Amino acid sequence: MKTVVIHEAHDLRVEDREPAVIGEGQVLVRMAAGGICGSDLHYYHNGGFGAVRLREPMILGHEVAGYVVETGPGVTGLEPGQLVAVSPSRPCKNCKFCAEAMFNQCLNMRFYGSAMPFPHIQGAFREMLVAEAEQCVPADGLTPGEAAMAEPLAVTLHATRKLRNMLGKSVLVTGCGPIGILSILAARRAGADRVVATDLSAFTLEFARAAGADEVIDLSSDSNGLDRFAADKGTFDILYECSGAVPALTAGIGAMRPGGTVMQLGMSGDMNLPVLSIISKELSLQGSFRFHEEFATGVSLMRKGLIDVKPLITHTKSLDDAVRAFDLAGDRKQAMKVQLAF
C-alpha cells in the first residue's frame, strides 16, 4: 500500500509499505481523506518542532477519515462500507493519568504521526489503516473531507471546554489558520458574544470573517491594530492564541482585561512571556494539548449541522501529489486546509 513518509526536512516520499493485520477489536479502514496539519508541516519544513526532532523515517498524518472494509472479532456497531472519522488519540488506559481520565496526558500515548517518542508513532497517511474500533466514530451524512476535520475541531473543542463559561464573553483570536477559524466556530457555539480575530494574512482573515468574527485586523498592514483594545487595562475576557508567535501573544495579552484567560493553542517551541502584564492584570494562563472525548463531540456537531467545516477545505490533492500538497499547505496566501484524497 502507498504511504506518505517523511525522512528529514523537505524529504517527503510516497512509499510502499505492508499493511498491518487486523486483530480482535480492530477495524480495517480504507482511507478516503487526510488533512495536512501544522505539525505535519513542521516535520516537512523543519524536521520537527521545539525539542521534537525526526530520528527515523515516519509516516505522517493524523486528520483522517475512511470507509470500513472489515471488522475484527468482537467489534459491534460498525459495518463494512460505513464512513468513519478515525481519532488519532490512542491512550494506554493503564498509566496514572489515564486512571484519572486525563487521557490526552497519557504517559504512553500512541498519537498518529508523532516523533515525540522513539521509536516514532507511525501516522495514518496510508491507503489502508488498521485502527481500534473505539477510534472509529460513525460519520454518516458527512463527506470524507468533513469527517477528516474532526481532529482539528476536537483540538478547539477541548480548549473551549477548559474555558468553561463562555456565555457573553469577549474573545480575541490571534492566528487564523484552521485552528484559529475553528476556535471562532467553537467559541460562538459555546455562547461567546464579541469575537475579534487578528492575523498577518488578508486571505485567512476573510475566513475568520465568514466564520463569524465581528471584526478582523490585518496586523501586516496595521501593526498597532490592537492598541485601541488595550485602553483602560484592556478589553477581552478570553484569548485563543493560535499562532505560536511571541509578538501575537504579547499583543494579545496587552488587549486582555484584568482577570481574563489566555488559552495557548499555538505550538512552535518555547515562548517568552510578558510576565509583568500577566501578574499585574491577574491573568490566567492555560495550555491546551490535544483532546480525547471531544473527538466524538466534534463529529456529532458536524453531523447535526451545528458546525460547518466545509468552507475551510480549500484544496484536495491526490496521494501521489503529496509533495505539491505539502508545499501548497504552507502557503497562507492561497490555502486554508489542504487534504489528500486516497
Q: For 248, phi and psi rounded to 5 degrees? A: -65, -45
Query: CATH homologous superfamily of domain 2-149+309-341?
Result: Medium-chain alcohol dehydrogenases, catalytic domain (3.90.180.10)
pLDDT digits 0-9 by tens, 234-283: 999 999 999 999 999 999 999 999 999 999 999 877 888 999 999 999 99
- Give CA–CA dist 298/259, Å, rounded: 29
Q: What is residue 30's three-state secondary structure?
A: strand
pLDDT digits 0-9 by tens, 176-199: 999 999 999 999 999 999 999 999
CATH code 3.40.50.720 region(s) in the chain: 155-287
Reported as a pLDDT band with limits 50, 70 and 90, residue 9 is: very high
Looking at residue 51, what is its pLDDT?
A: 86
Contact 145, 339 (CB under 8 A): yes
CA 185 vs. chain centroid, Å, equals: 13
Mean pLDDT over all residues of the chain? 96
pLDDT digits 0-9 by tens, 37-72: 999 999 999 999 888 999 999 999 999 999 999 999
Residue with cell 501593526: 223
Q: What is residue 338's three-state secondary structure?
A: strand
**What is the grid cell recorded at 131?**
485502527
Q: pTM here? A: 0.96
Looking at residue 50, what is its pLDDT?
A: 83
- Give CA–CA dist 40/60, Å, rounded: 6
Best CATH choice for the domain 155-287 from the list 3.40.50.300, 3.40.190.10, 3.40.50.1820, 3.40.50.720: 3.40.50.720
CATH code 3.90.180.10 region(s) in the chain: 2-149+309-341
